[in-house]
Structure 1
């Protein structure tokens, strides 16, 4: 405790002196709550795009999803049963459930939506909801295209968690699947897609 040393008093008097000094001490104001990089609107989109790109994902900000998905033509792509019809562009071999593990593994890629995205960390969260399908769909194909609407981007992890139901199966994706071997060489695609493409819809 700062200030003058306690006087040489005994018993109750010493205790009262200590309590008086505590009562008179200045209490610092509470520290402000920091909520990470929360930004509304375009700022959140820009930060999310920057963070996702840091993970070596392909990032495109688009206004027309079907036009952006025209790059899938000529490929066999898995699509959950409840993706919007307009996403199912012509010229793509759309694979629909039920699919075996072998069929998923042979697919060129998978197209999904997401439950929420996190600007602060560049993370996409899937919860098996609308346009996401079961977890295996996004783990076996080598290429994952994920459509993220701007209004699905939360600024921070706490804000994202507040939008999610903890009882659902949550998958957090931060870039393509990657790990390092014993010599710290980066190896991609060991336990998920080697390529992640994120379409941010503004």
Structure 2
């Protein structure tokens, strides 16, 4: 008897006499808070990211203010805001992207409970590499895109699209638990929440 057969046999034995016709109770859900956008902003800040709320009218000026003076910036095709002097990604190589200082993208969804931003790399979001190589990522999230939790996000995401889930600036810890930022992604995350 193989290990697999042995394990499955034990499971079958444990399930003998169990009524399998009943319904499975739904998984417990986190009760949504009244201010999802406020919760989202708090959670994103918990990850050491900068979060600003602004109006659609102020968006272009807030994007410009989030970028260091003289920064070399890349933007994806279809970005919904003008970024003066930015280079539109037309298939830049990793080396070309590494020479740039920042990227500005939009997001497809923001998750309030976890402070996570999700990109599905559609228009305004670009290829995955442009959100990972430059040292600063300025990401635009509209209030209507913020959902309560991960199950709500999964419900609106297309599983056939590539997804990048971002929870704060890139960070890792070495064996002595010393935090190091920017090893495998942007060192700075600046989120603009458009109300």
Task: State the TM-score bracket (shorter-chain normalisation).
Answer: 0.7 to 0.9
Could you state the TM-score of these two structures normalised by the residue count of structure 1?
0.78
Match of 1:44 among 36, 49, 54: 36
Distance 1:118 1:83 in 2: 21
- Cα distance in structure 1, aligned partners of 2:31 and 2:117: 16
Q: CA deviation at 1:33?
A: 5.8
Query: Hey, what's the Cα distance between the residues in 1 that align with 2:25 and 2:106?
Result: 38
**Which residue does the alignment assign to 1:108?**
101
User: In the alignment, is the contact (CA less than 8 A) between 1:79 and 1:94 conserved in 2?
Assistant: yes
Give 1:36 deviation, angstroms.
1.6
Cα contact 1:88–1:94 (8 A) shared by 2? no
Residue 130 of structure 2: aligned partner? 137
1:146 alignment partner in structure 2: 139
Among 82, 85, 100, the alignment partner of 2:78 is: 82
Equivalents in 2 of 1:181, 1:56: separation in Å? Answer: 18
- Alignment partner, residue 124 of structure 1: 117
Quote the offset at 1:32 in angstroms.
7.9
Shift of 1:31: 7.4
How many angstroms apart in 2 are the aligned matches of 1:33 and 1:140? 38
| Aligned 8 A contact 1:178 1:188 in 2 | yes
Query: Which residue among 50, 55, 78 is the counterpart of 2:47?
Result: 55
Shifted more, 30-39 versus 127-136: the winner is 30-39
Stretch of structure 1 that moved more, 122-131 or 92-101? 92-101
Distance 2:74 2:133 in 1: 10
Q: Which runs of 5 or more structure 1 residues have no equivalent in the other structure? A: 1-29
Shift of the alpha carbon at 1:98?
Answer: 2.4
Q: Which has the larger radius of gyration?
A: 1
The verdict on how the C-alpha distance between 1:95 and 1:31 changes in structure 2, with shifts beyond 3 A counting, is closer
Cα-Cα RMSD: 1.7
Segments of 5+ residues of structure 2 without an aligned counterpart are 1-23
TM-score (norm 2): 0.81
Deviation (angstroms), 1:170: 0.8
Partner of 2:169: 176
Residues 77 and 88 in structure 2, CA contact (< 8 A), matched pair in contact too: no
Number of residue equivalences: 168
Residue 70 of structure 1 and its aligned partner are, at CA, apart by 2.1
Cα contact 1:44–1:154 (8 A) shared by 2: yes
Supply the distance in 2 between the matched residues of 1:96 and 1:167 (Cα, whole angstroms): 23
Does the 8 Å CA contact 2:75/2:87 hold for their aligned counterparts? Answer: yes
Look up the match of 1:20: none
